[in-house]
Structure 1
Amino acid sequence: MNTPTPRYERAARRAQSDGRIPALSVALHRADREPWVFTVGESGNPAHPLGPDTRFRIGSVTKTFTAVLVLQARDEGLLDLDQPVNAYLDLPAHGDATLRRLLSHTAGFQREPHGDVWDTLIAPDAAKLVEELDRAERVLPNARRFHYSNLGLAVLGQLVAKVRGGTWEQIVAERILVPLGLDATTVEAPPQSAVGYLVDAYSDAARPEPPVPLGGVAPAAQLWSTAADMAKWAAFLTSPELVDPDGRVLKATTLDEMRWPLTTTDEALWGAGFGLGLILVPEGRRVMHVGHDGAMPGFLAGVYGRRGGEGNPGALGCAVLGSSGTAGQVNELVHELLRLAVELDPAEIRPWRIAAPAPKAYRSVLGHWWSEGSEFVFAWHDGQLQARLAEAPADRPPAVFAPLPGKESALPGQDDVLRTVSGRESGELLRLTRDEHGEVVRMHWATYRFRRFQDGFDGGPASSGPEPYRAGDPPAGRR
């Protein structure tokens, strides 16, 4: 098989050339291959030429780390996402915003802290950020619409520091960077950092941008990293069960929650959305790119992982880091490389293998059922009872059921109750009704009746033809 590396490299070289990016570092992480890392250009740092260990500022990708810290605290019972922030942090204003709204940028906070931070290049420290919140505007009503806010995520970072009893810088290192082995990701710029530039629009000159320490705004945009570390982080955000199988950083189900879209970023063009601190970019055919972009003076970053789709090996993450503050090619290349990875080097197709049959208690559930005039197929795969519309496309995930606690083994002659744990009607109950022989003859899913034949809401079979209906008659099934 031809190696896809030349195509990856060519895409990276084209982005660096077209975007006029002084230094570009890219990486692909996936479950079934060694990481691929490539650099092109010059670091601008004479003591440390450009290479895989060159560090770049990742800007707002930092927000994804802060979001994970918030969800960690929620999972441990320290926070409730639907409580106002002032339940945990004493604020002089805007304390009614809930944590969920702040994470999804729907709390209406103004974009930046009070003052002209990007003129003075002086950010408030953590204490001043909180003290001056009454000088910041609530530019939109709570929950009105998406409005991106560095201030909102900075407040959440200080909230995490408060409930953990430390600084955000300490907590992000102890609770994320160390457990995941992200050794090249740091709060401060290390010696091997690239220089960030403003590239002149009308010549090939480039001006080094000044370093901007963010103080209390650090939880929104402070971190430095390598492309390899960030590709691994993107893989974690999309496939935590592969990158962090023991859930040391966060449970896979919590990442599922973070990836659920809570808002679109544009009311008319539904091309991107926000979950809990994560940007969601739909790619069509049930494929989603999940991650975040980042920008700081002299630097741009794109860090995304790919979920779903044919050829996806799992834990597929990509990072593109550049030392120019103006090259949009950085943010385009990350998505191009994720597409190329599954196109040029798809995951191997696993052979089907014989498995154990469904438990005896569920065998009479398997097969075709009808509800609301539609046909469904119930099946047993991967040790789970599943259901899907008979006409559903193959790439649509099935509904998956699990017994309720105390109902782990079904008994003949007993009504069984299961919970829909994913897919269609997630959260709803499935009730099984058996005959005197223990065979399932009727089911109710989300209260809708399921039978082996097509019937109307009055219980009459479709094959019986029309019957006259008189106003005032009760439904046939209730007579």
Structure 2
Amino acid sequence: MENHSASARYERVVRRAQADGRVPALSVALHRADREPWVFTVGDSGNIGHPLTPDTRFRIGSITKTFTAVLVLQCRDDGLLDLDDPIARHLPVPAHGDATVRRLLSHTAGFQREPYGDIWDTLKAPDAAEVLTQLDRAERVLPNARRYHYSNLGFAVLGQLAAHLRGGTWAEIVGDRILGPLGLTATTLNPPPQAAVGYLVDDFSDAARPEPQTDLGGVAPAAQLWSTANDMAAWGAFLAHPATADPQGRVLAAATVDEMRFPATVTHESVWQSGFGLGLIIEPQSKWVTHVGHDGAMPGFLASAYGRRGGEGVPAGLGAAVLGSSGTARVTNEIVHELLRLAVEIDPADITPWRAAPPAPVAYRSILGPWFSEGTQFVFSWHDGALQARLPDLPRDFPPSIFEPLPGQPDVLRTVSGRETGELLRLTRDEAGAVVRMHWATYRVTRGQEGFDGGLASDGPAPLPGSLSGR
């Protein structure tokens, strides 16, 4: 990062977290499009001959699920599946074949948390074939679509689904279709020689016990990968700002990543503090800001990778990752959000000077200005090459509705973002070609403040039949 004051603030946050959380090793990174990456490490790798550096590898656990989710969405975009397909349409499964791809991605299919067997006792995971053949031994612990229930088994099945449709192994396709195109060269299936040792840190002393490394076999699509903070911050930036991190859409179209980020469920029915999209955790912040990404946990390791979206001062491509070598230091999963907030607070994006731009097309100039619908005022404007609408009393950083004309139909526009996304805006013109009325989501939009009977609010009540004023 170029801002040395900001770097010092970040470093102090990380040092405090490592000390208070008693994490043997922490590796942290911030990515943004307008700065060089900021990477910092503190502690001891525990690996003799391989001291802690930015290239030290940590287990990222369930962040792996976000890669599996992207593979599944790639299959959808390529026409290999539909998100509402039951898995039995594509995989030979002995049970639970009615579970849909979408429900598995959002953890609402009701699958039990882990594959059949006590794999965290035996530390022996089923292989790829066994994940599927043993589905009849796994429970559907909740009815389909009842509520959120986190499931490693569900993502293991999704990984085998993507591998089956692509004709390779999950490890092969995640390397070929994501890691390679995005240049995430430090992200690997297995630990390299420079891997950190993961620990269980004693609650009542300063002792730390190394945890065993576990190969997840057929459950790899849920939690197998190892990586660096630098790679994972870049991944968080991709999940939040794909058009910046992957402008050519080599991995996934930006619109598809938008779809993944839309909340499919809350994670707790009475405490709406986080949600789950299609393979992504959504953490609401203040003032229309969200952090999107995932946390990870494996024996001896905790990890987080998130990107920040929305709000004033957010630089394009802002992502952060925190990887730690303690399996119980929850501070690892907390400071990623603090760092993303700090990045905007103390080193916000540069303010782009306003410059005059070409006027709105002649066909849309008569729309500009205030209109009313359902008695409420909306202001229509032309910015950044598109027609927009917003409520006048909302803050400037609240996203407007944005419209795009349908092909060959300039008087019929689709709402592509914001309020009433997906709905049509239909224009009605007078003989001179000026727009005199609109219909948005079928509601009448007029220049005057009209009631549903077409009368102006300023005229007061309609006269009663037979009254003097009505004669």
Instruction: Indicate which of 223, 226, 237 corresponds to 1:221.
Output: 223
State the 1:203 CA deviation. 1.1
Question: What is the DSSP-based 3-state SS (H/G/I as helix, E as strand, rest coil) of the residue aligned with 2:372?
Answer: strand
State the 1:47 CA deviation. 1.7
Tell me: CA distance 1:109–1:48, structure 2 relative to 1, closer, same or farther (3 Å). Answer: same
| Corresponding position of 2:423 | 428
* Structure 1: 4+ residue segments shifted above 3 A: none
Work out whether 1:453 is the aligned partner of 2:448. yes
| Corresponding position of 2:150 | 148
Work out whether 1:249 is the aligned partner of 2:251. yes
What amino acid maps onto 1:390 in structure 2?
A: P
Question: What is the DSSP-based 3-state SS (H/G/I as helix, E as strand, rest coil) of the residue aligned with 2:194?
Answer: coil
CA distance in 2, matches of 1:456, 1:75: 44
| Corresponding position of 1:103 | 105
Instruction: Indicate which of 432, 447, 457 corresponds to 1:462.
Output: 457
| Corresponding position of 1:238 | 240
CA distance in 1, matches of 2:464, 2:398: 39
CA distance in 1, matches of 2:464, 2:78: 58
| Corresponding position of 2:73 | 71
Instruction: Indicate which of 7, 11, 14 corresponds to 2:13.
Output: 11
CA distance in 1, matches of 2:401, 2:342: 30
1:9-48 equivalent positions in 2, closer than 5 A: 9-48=11-50
Tell me: CA distance 1:188–1:469, structure 2 relative to 1, closer, same or farther (3 Å). Answer: farther
Question: What is the DSSP-based 3-state SS (H/G/I as helix, E as strand, rest coil) of the residue aligned with 1:147?
Answer: coil
| Corresponding position of 1:475 | none
TM-score by structure 2 length?
0.97
Question: What is the DSSP-based 3-state SS (H/G/I as helix, E as strand, rest coil) of the residue aligned with 2:41?
Answer: strand
| Corresponding position of 2:93 | 91
CA distance in 2, matches of 1:468, 1:439: 32
What amino acid maps onto 1:430 in structure 2?
A: L
State the 1:340 CA deviation. 0.8
Equivalent residue pairs, number = 463
CA distance in 2, matches of 1:6, 1:402: 45
| Corresponding position of 1:320 | 322
| Corresponding position of 2:287 | 285
CA distance in 2, matches of 1:198, 1:71: 36
State the 1:469 CA deviation. 6.0
| Corresponding position of 1:335 | 337
| Corresponding position of 2:119 | 117
CA distance in 2, matches of 1:469, 1:9: 74
Instruction: Indicate which of 248, 270, 280 corresponds to 1:268.
Output: 270
CA distance in 2, matches of 1:386, 1:399: 5
State the 1:303 CA deviation. 0.7
Structure 1 gaps of 5+ residues are 411-415, 471-479
Instruction: Indicate which of 142, 160, 163 corresponds to 2:162.
Output: 160
CA distance in 2, matches of 1:229, 1:392: 37
CA distance in 2, matches of 1:70, 1:469: 63
CA distance in 2, matches of 1:355, 1:77: 40
What amino acid maps onto 2:413 in structure 1?
A: L
Identity %: 73
State the 1:395 CA deviation. 2.2
Question: What is the DSSP-based 3-state SS (H/G/I as helix, E as strand, rest coil) of the residue aligned with 2:285?
Answer: strand
State the 1:468 CA deviation. 4.6
What amino acid maps onto 1:422 in structure 2?
A: S
CA distance in 2, matches of 1:363, 1:169: 54
| Corresponding position of 2:468 | none
State the 1:388 CA deviation. 0.9
CA distance in 1, matches of 2:287, 2:55: 36
State the 1:392 CA deviation. 2.3
| Corresponding position of 1:127 | 129
CA distance in 2, matches of 1:444, 1:88: 43
| Corresponding position of 1:440 | 435
What amino acid maps onto 2:151 in structure 1?
A: S
Structure 2 gaps of 5+ residues are 466-471
